[in-house]
Amino acid sequence: MPLQKIRNIGIAAHIDAGKTTTTERLLFFTGSTRKLGEVHDGQATMDFMKQEQERGITIASAAISCTWNDHQINIIDTPGHVDFTVEVERSLRVIDGMVALFCAVSGVEPQSETVWNQADRYKVPRIAFINKMDRIGADFNEVVSQMDKYLDANPVPFHIPIGVEDNFQGSIDVIEKRAYIFEGLVKKEIDIPDEYKAKVDEARQYLTEKIADYNEEVMELFLNGDDVDSVLLKKAARDAVLKVMVTPVFCGSSYKNKGVHLLLDAIIDYLPSPIDVGSIIGMDIDNPEKTHSRTPSVKEPFCGLAFKLIHDNYVGQQTFVRIYSGELKTGMPVYNSTKDKEERIGRILKIKADEREDIESAGPGSIVALIGMKYTKTGDTLCDKAHPLFLESIFIPPTVIELKISPPSKKEDEKLGSALRKLAMEDPSFNVRYDDETNETVISGMGELHLEIIIDRLKHEFNIEAIVGEPSVAFRETITGEFEVNYKHSKQTGGKGQFAHVVLRVEPNMDKGFEFIDHIKGGAIPVEFIPSVQKGIESVLAAGVISSSPIVDVKVVLVDGSYHEVDSSDMAFRTCASIAFKQAFLKCNPVLLEPVMKLEVNTPDDYIGDVIGDINRRRGKIESMRRHRKGSQKLNGFVPLMEMFGYATQLRNITSGRANYSMEFHKHVPSPKEIQEKVLKKIEEKKKEK
């Protein structure tokens, strides 16, 4: 299929806005499925994981292709729950356009803002679909107003609804001035009702004025008071969408099959093809300042980005790849520039949710699954070895919550380890580490639901009934002071000994992660041992010093040292550096960093005082309050995660179940001294128990 006729789109929104239902309708009306799958009865095509069907939510982004008006639409349905935000992140990294869904009753919700900001990060063109127009309390204009106010989306209604709530029948295309109603599964064109004619004229005038800001031809006609031809207006509107200048707004009710045909038309009319997106820019492998571009053509050298891994019981590991240039063929070698490894393509699969079809080759704009990848992980670049480059990787947020986990019996220890490794490869926001001091396996993720799903998958996919501890906060360690340590490691054990000597300066590196700087002069330490020093320090970073939590934001400068011709070795310098770093770390006024969450609470006015009081008791800070709907308010604030366990129950109690909340990770901040002492004391007691 010509590249101009391909659309790679994502569907993203707040939880319960109707993303999966909308996708199911898109598949049904394009003929990709023969029945209407419903989320509430666990029959949705896209929610094929057992855990998704049980909970009625989307957990893993699913990929599927369909055809509409001679165009191929590759859809990625993404989760709305904040615990699975990395799924949205990696999907947005590889799609060309996005359909942002909003509930006509709830409007702009916390996760809507998160998704919108993620799309801004990758400059993804988008259109908006206001869903659930048939619900009581639906308000099209209010949602458009919220999009403008809270998302800075520059929303422009391209459709206006006919009726609302129980009387919602269809919508009017503002550009074409054509009205459509939906009866059952059928779309019917009707004359514009008399009571809507003035509204349509006003909406078209507003739309033309908005588009005129981005197109001189439209501007000239508009200023002269001339009518703008719908073909020109559509073309100018498309250009403005592709430049992320405006957000066209459409409406409907996916569950009632209203507006879905028009949404499919809008996807083709306004969202970009791979040609519109143009060249992808990658960095030179040897010089990050230098860039290379690849146009979406089969004549260009191959390059693609791995954005997802799935372990399948039938075919093994599937690596999802978005191809940007060149052609991928079965059996051909490719170069993983991120890992500096060569891979060979075993099989190429076209994916339809949990079904798969073997294909021989795939070109630019394709999203395919590869079988046979040994080294490739999420965010890795695959390319032609003769023309290597790095593509921008995928942002992975830090984990905030952890659990101790152990196998039901000693003999299942290896089985548990293998299963956790597979899950960690699939999901980069899920981490596994082994605590040497307590001899426990610790898993960490984005929230309680995230880890609950992991435990559930261990049980059903890997047949492991793991023993799980209570969830706890994932702390980090850092330093606030500076110290220079001079440490000599010398061991003589008859035969070859061990000798290494380093002088390290350890200092804070606020919000910049770990940095290692080599200042060795005159070969005081041979060049081959410098990486050993860095590896020794990095082994401590992962394990922590004061609380077994990972160390962040530290700069280490290797100032000086010495070596022995015979007794110095890689292992000697690793050991020496790790001991030296631990000694220095303890002298640099170490502090524990705790995760602080961004909290949003929707509550009726009657309970506002109780809700604020409860947040204050949890060491929370209210940042803003705003009117949400008549009789209700939205509170925004920040609260330490360790104070939020059990919050859902407490909020339900103090508001008679009428409030709801959402929270997501904001940043790590130093714990107050008394909290730090309490946490460290508890850790010490646990070690003694062991």
Q: How many CB atoms lie within 10 A of CB 632?
A: 16
Residue 129 in contact with residue 100, Cβ under 8 Å? yes
pLDDT in tens, 611-631: 999 999 999 999 988 876 667
Q: Tell me the DSSP string of 533-557.
A: HHHHHHHHHHH-SSSSPPB-SEEEE
Residue 413: C-alpha distances to residues 330, 362, 443, 465 (Å): 37, 41, 15, 12
Dist. CA 365–CA 358, nearest whole Å: 18
The predicted pLDDT at position 496 comes to: 74
Query: In sequence order, what E strands does 574-631 have?
Result: 590-604, 621-629
Q: Can you read off the two tokens belonging to residue 227?
A: 């009518």
Question: Which residue carries 């360790």 as its tokens?
Answer: 642
| pTM strictly above 0.75 | no
Q: Are 457 and 408 in contact (CB under 8 A)?
A: no
Q: Indicate the SS3 state at residue 491.
A: strand
Of all residues in the chain, what percent are helix, strand and coil, respectively (each to 5)? 30, 35, 35
**pLDDT, averaged across the chain:** 86
Strand partners, 101: 13, 129
Of 384 and 470, the one with more pLDDT: 384
Q: Is residue 61's pLDDT more than 50?
A: no
Burial class (CB in 10 A: 0-12, 13-18, 19+), 106: buried
Question: pLDDT digits over 524-576, tens only?
Answer: 999 999 999 999 999 999 889 998 889 999 999 999 999 998 889 999 999 99
Banded model confidence at residue 191, pLDDT cuts 50, 70, 90? very high
- 586 CB neighbour count, 10 Å cutoff: 14
Paired tokens of 603 = 């509550």
> For residue 55, what pLDDT is reported?
34
Q: Quick one: which H or E segment has residue 411? A: none
User: Model confidence at 54, in pLDDT bands (50, 70, 90)?
Assistant: very low
Q: What is the spatial order of strands in the sheet that 483-491 belongs to?
A: 483-491, 498-508, 554-562, 515-518
321-341 pLDDT, tens digit per residue, is 899 999 999 989 999 999 899
**What is the per-residue pLDDT for 100?**
92
Gap between the Cα atoms of 679 and 544, Å rounded? 14
* Interatomic CA distance for residues 305 and 319, integer angstroms: 10
Least reliable range by pLDDT among 303-307, 456-460, 579-583: 456-460
Residue 181 has pLDDT above 60, yes or no: yes
DSSP category for residue 247: E
Q: Which of 9-23, 142-156, 235-249 has the lowest mean pLDDT?
A: 9-23
Give the three-class secondary structure for 216: helix
Q: Quote the tokens at residue 572.
A: 């000697």
Closest CA to 633 of 622, 642, 617: 622
Question: Where does the pLDDT of residue 367 fall: very low under 50, low under 70, confident under 90, or very high at 90 and above?
Answer: confident
Task: Select from 53, 51, 63, 59 the least CA-distant residue to 27.
Answer: 63
Residue with tokens 């127009």: 133
> What band does 79 get if pLDDT is binned at 50, 70 and 90?
low
Given this model, what pLDDT does residue 571 score?
93
- C-alpha separations of 665 from 6, 396, 621, 639 in Å: 35, 12, 15, 10
Give the phi and the psi of residue 113 in degrees, each rounded to 5.
-65, -40
User: Under a CB-based contact definition with an 8 Å cutoff, are residues 72 and 5 in contact?
Assistant: yes
Widest pairwise Cα distance in the chain = 101
Closest CA to 29 of 194, 221, 334, 254: 254
Q: What is the pLDDT of residues 458-508, one digit of tens each?
A: 888 888 888 888 888 889 999 999 999 999 999 876 667 889 999 999 999
